[in-house]
Amino acid sequence: MNRITVVKRKGTREPLNIEKIRKVINWAAKGLELNPLKLEAKLKLHFFDGITTRQIHEAVINTALSLTTPEEPDWRILAGRLFIFNLYKEVSIRRGTSKLAYVGGGEEYFKVVKDLVEKGLYTQELLEVYSKEEIVEAGDYLNLDYDFLYDYAGANLLAKRYLCVYEDYPIELPQEMYMTISLLLAKNEPKGKRLKLAKKFYDLIAGKKLSLATPILINLRRPNGNLSSCFITAMDDSLDSIMYTANQVAQISKRAGGVGVNISRIRAQGSWIKKVFGASGGIVPWTKILNDVAVAVNQEGKRAGAVTVALDVWHLDIYDFLELKTENGDLRRKAFDIFPQVVIPDLFMERVKFNQDWLLVDPYEIERKFGYKLYELWGDEFEKAYLHIESKAELLKLKKRVRARELFKEILKTQVATGLPYIFFKDTANRLNPLKHDGFIGNGNLCMESFSNFKPSKGFKTYMKEGKIVNEVSQPGLVHTCNLLSVNLANISSDEELEEAVRFAVRILDNTIELTSPPILESKLHNDRYRTIGIGTLGLADYLAKRELPYGRQSLKFIEELYEKIAYYGIDESINLAKERGAFPAYEGSDWSKGIVIGKDGNYLLEKTSLKEKWLSVLKKLKEYGIRNGQLFAIAPNTSSGLLQGATPGVLPPFSRFYIDKNQKQAVPICPPYLKEKFWFYRESKFMEQKEVIDVISTIQKWVDSGISMELLFNLNLGIRAKDIYETVLYAWEKGIKTIYYVRTIQRDSQKALKKEECVACAN
């Protein structure tokens, strides 16, 4: 062993010193339940003459990962700590210092801020809003202990996706990132309390009690960044609108937003164009354009754009729409890179349930002959119009009568094959829309958790000016826009901590509305009118397991009380902000102004809930001050957030208690935070009846004014039949579920689920 020499980062050589390695391993193992000697024994096999210090570090990390098991999960945390320690060294080298970063405290942090502002990685506003003394004080508040809360998967994701790099090398450290974000989140607060608030934001975010969405984490500290995750727009039935919408999608995608586009206004294939019957190509050509825009505008080179395209189930082109991502049929009529979404009214589901007929129609012909804009209608108004159209179907030239149940089965068959389309239950979502006085919700967003009123722009012209194409809008519409964060329930230990996290979440997200640079005009108009925010949660399975409660029907009462508390804290705090800053402009006439809270009137709140006295106070304050935000709650899938936060994603049970995520470089173990001590309280989704998952989601939905990303997972090894999938989705509608995100299946003789593509915009 003494013959082995090590090549240091500076290129010099020295004999291998096992004691140095042992010292670092023992430091990383502090407080963990593992034996460092076990790692050291396996590590010796990886040493060779001329090994570099980086290779030693990688060997220690990979050996620790290989030792990780359900019985000894702490090895992944040791690997995460070593990863962060190595990051310190790498950043110190880039800064030209021999000592590890952070040694200089607040003065060092001020130098970093100044340097990254000069490099264009931080916004100049930091130095304009805060004095040197304030930044130094903030730097002195940095807490290195937060760096060692990560397991390897979280630390690796943090470094690769979120930390600033300069000339392809890391230049920023985690606590610098979190403090800088916190300072900017507080920059518009009153001068006397902004630094105090920034420190509070920092503790909640860096301490992994609040998880910010990706656009906030990446863009806030950069100049003119978009902070919003979710956007929904609509394409009107004209060439100008189609091209204008494609440009909207491009601009949003360029700024890292996920986009939803409603295309139900587009005339069907074979419809009229300028009185020529049969000239229309239908929805497929325009969907292909959106597909290509999503691929071409690749979010600053980091990943392709992501677009969900929504079509109402009464549209004559629905069968073509369902074929967009399947592998059979004409490849020229495919759009493999979009995420289809079917918009379904109650009337269709009733026809499915009773095996009745369903009439498919062309929206252009319906509007021309009957005056109905079916795509704008929901509930009783839709049913009345649709029944009238059915009674006069002989007047229609373009129509197709099908069995509703057979069409529904086609939707489910496509889901089993591709995981898509998403499903949006339009009437359920609009009944519980607090802003129904001012419009309607046409479909869901990319992750099916955030949606509000939106409408296409009218009166726009496209023309050339000075050699450039100009899109001029005289009647701009609204593009649904929402900023997201999630409360990490895995790290919440008491009602006091929960209340603090939710109340500060409201303030943080309301602040981001002022801080964001919207990618398009219609997004700013939506922000200004509704001030929509989306507070979500992740780690519900961890929260339950920690309290020795299994995920499922046994815990429904506890879950409902938990989400009622979250709703109360959030709504009460938004009312407090309305007192401080004013109610959202479209407040008058909204459900809020009528004392209706997430579909519940005063009688319900004061008779059937667990927080009656608190709701009485809320109703009084609401009447006096209004509320700051038109919508407050949206529960995202949080797939990557779960990795970053070291928690189970969203509000679903984990797919597996323990699994290995393999890539080209290494195998990374993934498991919930309390696996070792609470193993049997973690139920695995792949072995659960999905109706039980629906019961949990529908219970949470009672206290969520927007949506919840709910996946369904069918394990065909458990004897699941097509009939079971059909009955489960029907059950979801009957239980008041608003949306269904992915439908995944585990094929027989396999434990692998149909792969889904992650929605990064809604992450964190």
Give Cβ neighbours of residue 12 (< 8 Å, ≥ 6 apart): none
C-alpha closest to that of 569 among 626, 508, 521, 632: 632
CATH number of the domain that residue 328 is part of: 3.20.70.20
Cβ 338 vs Cβ 262: under 8 Å? no
251-263 mean pLDDT = 92
In whole angstroms, how far apart are CA 634 and each of 257, 484, 532, 536, 704? 16, 8, 10, 5, 7
Q: pLDDT category, 95, cuts 50, 70, 90?
A: confident
In a domain? residue 187: yes
- My answer on whether 295 and 361 are in the same domain is yes
* Catalytic-labelled residue, pool 226, 291, 430, 445: 445
Q: Render pLDDT for 285-341 as a digit per residue (tens, 0 to 9).
A: 999 999 999 999 976 666 678 999 999 999 999 999 999 999 888 888 999 999 999
**pLDDT tops 50 at residue 1:** no
**Final residue belonging to a domain, choices 474, 492, 515:** 474
**pLDDT tops 90 at residue 3:** no
**How long, in residues, is the chain?**
764
For this structure, is 445 an active site residue? yes
- My answer on whether 351 and 319 are in the same domain is yes
User: How many structural domains comprise the chain?
Assistant: 2
In a domain? residue 611: no
Q: pLDDT category, 211, cuts 50, 70, 90?
A: very high
Q: Render pLDDT for 698-736 as a digit per residue (tens, 0 to 9).
A: 999 999 999 999 999 999 999 999 999 999 999 999 999
In a domain? residue 354: yes
**pLDDT tops 80 at residue 657:** yes
- My answer on whether 385 and 251 are in the same domain is yes
Q: pLDDT category, 464, cuts 50, 70, 90?
A: confident
**pLDDT tops 50 at residue 106:** yes
- My answer on whether 250 and 103 are in the same domain is no
- My answer on whether 106 and 236 are in the same domain is no
For this structure, is 762 an active site residue? no
pLDDT, residue 112, reads 94
For this structure, is 449 an active site residue? yes
In a domain? residue 411: yes
- My answer on whether 458 and 338 are in the same domain is yes
- My answer on whether 364 and 447 are in the same domain is yes
pLDDT, residue 762, reads 65
C-alpha closest to that of 741 among 715, 709, 764: 709
119-137 mean pLDDT = 96
- My answer on whether 378 and 267 are in the same domain is yes
Q: Render pLDDT for 588-614 as a digit per residue (tens, 0 to 9).
A: 999 999 999 999 999 999 999 999 999
Q: Render pLDDT for 633-645 as a digit per residue (tens, 0 to 9).
A: 999 999 999 999 9
pLDDT, residue 296, reads 92
pLDDT, residue 701, reads 98
- Where is 51: in which H helix or E strand? strand 51-52
Residue 684 identity:
E
Outline where DSSP puts E strands in 223-356: 230-234, 258-262, 307-312, 339-344
Share of the chain above pLDDT 70, in %: 97
pLDDT, residue 750, reads 74
In a domain? residue 668: no
pLDDT, residue 348, reads 98
In a domain? residue 223: no
- My answer on whether 320 and 260 are in the same domain is yes
Fill in the DSSP letter of residue 757.
-
- My answer on whether 295 and 179 are in the same domain is no
**pLDDT higher for 32 or 96?**
32
500-525 mean pLDDT = 97
**pLDDT tops 70 at residue 501:** yes
Q: Render pLDDT for 421-454 as a digit per residue (tens, 0 to 9).
A: 999 999 999 999 999 999 999 999 999 999 999 9
Task: Determine the number of helices (DSSP H) and then strands (DSSP E) in the chain.
Answer: 29, 22
* Catalytic-labelled residue, pool 108, 172, 323, 449: 449
**pLDDT tops 60 at residue 101:** no
In a domain? residue 529: no
- My answer on whether 295 and 442 are in the same domain is yes
**Final residue belonging to a domain, choices 448, 474, 500:** 474
226-239 mean pLDDT = 95
**pLDDT higher for 549 or 2?**
549
In a domain? residue 288: yes
Domain membership of residue 466 as a residue range: 230-474
**pLDDT tops 50 at residue 70:** yes
Give Cβ neighbours of residue 462 (< 8 Å, ≥ 6 apart): 240, 243, 244, 469, 470, 471, 472
- My answer on whether 191 and 283 are in the same domain is no
